[in-house]
Chain A
Amino acid sequence: MTTDDRSPLDVPEDDDTVDGIAADRLADYLDAGRTPRDPAIEGSAACRLYLQSLARVHDLSRASLEHEARREPDRDGAWIDGLLDSIRREVVGGRVIPIGHPDPAVRLSVTEAAARGLVRRAGDEQSGVVLGSTTFDGDLTTAGADVVVRVTAAARYGLDLGAVADELRTRITETLTRHTGLTVVRVDVLVDDVFVAREDDR
């Protein structure tokens, strides 16, 4: 079922589901290599966004997070839970971002959830960064509108946080400009956590 686009706008689901599918079931499905193919999951944009983010969290930071969890199990268990909760809330449809087209009989758009997915991908593809939350401040319902992006992130211990933030700003601006047509006027980056890398976690 694909109800992501029909969820009440800007109202995150308050249970542990994504588009009506339990988060645990999605995690199990990912662990099973997304086989056998589940059409209910694969046919849902929200579930696909969640799986995309979950896979990157696993791939990029499992070693470090597990390392941290052993050092401080209570703190990092909560941190991971909070991160997954943030991802789950961000994959619902949200606002509709129009994309300009000269023909008024053609209406093109990108969902806010898809845009947040782009931001998360941009962050997670950056070495030593795990993106936390993303918010957009601006009139997203106008094509090409000015928007301020605010993100939180965890960074690997020892990195130059100023350089981390600068690279993240560049990546986010590029991907949103390319895929949404929004005018990114500023990206505020708040590095609110630091994790310790293991040698094999690059």
Chain B
Amino acid sequence: MSDDLLSRDLTEVLRGVEGVVDVFDAHPVVEGAVRAVAAGLDLAGSTGLVEISRAAGSVSVTAHVATGLDVPTPETLARAADALRGRLAASGVTGDDVVVSVSARLVDASR
């Protein structure tokens, strides 16, 4: 599976996590700008929002989310990280060099 496909898959995984009310684009700004254009063209569904970067045998997976007010954010973030790690493992991305980062950029009412 390509990283772009994996990113889309992980984005969908996050959307199914209890307490996650939205997923934001975690890609670097230039890439994010390109994706914003795609979003403007109604192509957002074709882009993953989770950043996956590989370097020297390590894999870094970064996700930015909005969490809901009704669940403590630390619990939601831990669940999100578990869900990401589970899907990564199922995709063959495992090992000590896989780092998963999940950041709450917004705490909001559930929609």
Which of B32, B74, B101, B105 has most A Cβ within 10 Å?
B105
- Interface flag for B85 (CB, 8 Å): yes
Contacts of A6 in B (CB 8 A): 28-29, 32
Are B106 and A180 in contact, with the CB atoms below 8 A?
no
Residue of A4, A40, A109, A110 touching B101 (CB-CB under 8 A): A109
Contact B104 A110 (CB under 8 A): yes
* Residues of chain A from 47 to 68 with CB closer than 8 A to chain B in the complex: 48-49, 52
Instruction: A179-B74, A179-B107 are known; give 7 further A-B pairs, CB within 8 A.
Output: A5-B105, A6-B32, A107-B101, A108-B74, A108-B81, A180-B73, A181-B74
B77 interface residue, CB < 8 Å from A?
A: yes
Name the B residues within 8 Å of A178 (CB-CB): 72-73
Q: A99 and B100: CB pair below 8 A?
A: no
Q: Is the interface of B mostly helix, strand, loop or mixed?
A: mixed
Q: Is B26 an interface residue (CB 8 A)?
A: yes
> Are A108 and B29 within 8 A (Cβ)?
no
A179 to B26, CA, bound (A): 21
> Which residues of A77-126 are within 8 A (CB) of B?
93, 96, 99, 101, 105-111, 113-114, 117-118, 121
Q: Is the CB of B96 within 8 A of A105?
A: yes
Chain B residue nearest in CB terms to A108: B77
In the complex, B17 has a CB within 8 A of chain A: no
Distance between Cα atoms of A178 and B74 in the complex (Å)? 8
**Contact pick for A2, options B24, B67, B74, B85, CB 8 Å:** B24
The distance in angstroms between the C-alpha atoms of A40 and B36, with both chains bound, is: 6
Pick from B32, B33, B77, B106 the residue with the most CB of A within 10 Å. Answer: B106
Give Cα A179–Cα B24 distance, bound, in whole angstroms: 19
Residues of B near A96 (CB, < 8 A) are 103
Give the residues in chain A near B28, CB-CB below 8 Å: 6
Interface residues of A (CB under 8 A from B): 1-6, 39-40, 43-45, 48-49, 52, 93, 96, 99, 101, 105-111, 113-114, 117-118, 121, 178-181
- From residue 1 to 46 of chain B, which have CB atoms closer than 8 A to chain A? 24-26, 28-29, 32-33, 35-36, 39-40, 44
Shortest beta-carbon contacts, A-B, top 5: A45-B105, A1-B36, A179-B73, A39-B39, A108-B77
Question: Given A44-B24, A99-B74, A108-B81, does the pair A114, B29 have CB atoms closer than 8 Å?
Answer: no
26 A-B residue pairings within 8 Å (CB atoms): A1-B25, A1-B32, A1-B35, A2-B32, A3-B29, A5-B24, A39-B40, A39-B44, A43-B24, A43-B36, A45-B66, A96-B103, A106-B85, A107-B102, A108-B74, A108-B101, A108-B102, A108-B103, A110-B73, A111-B103, A114-B106, A121-B69, A179-B67, A179-B69, A179-B74, A180-B73
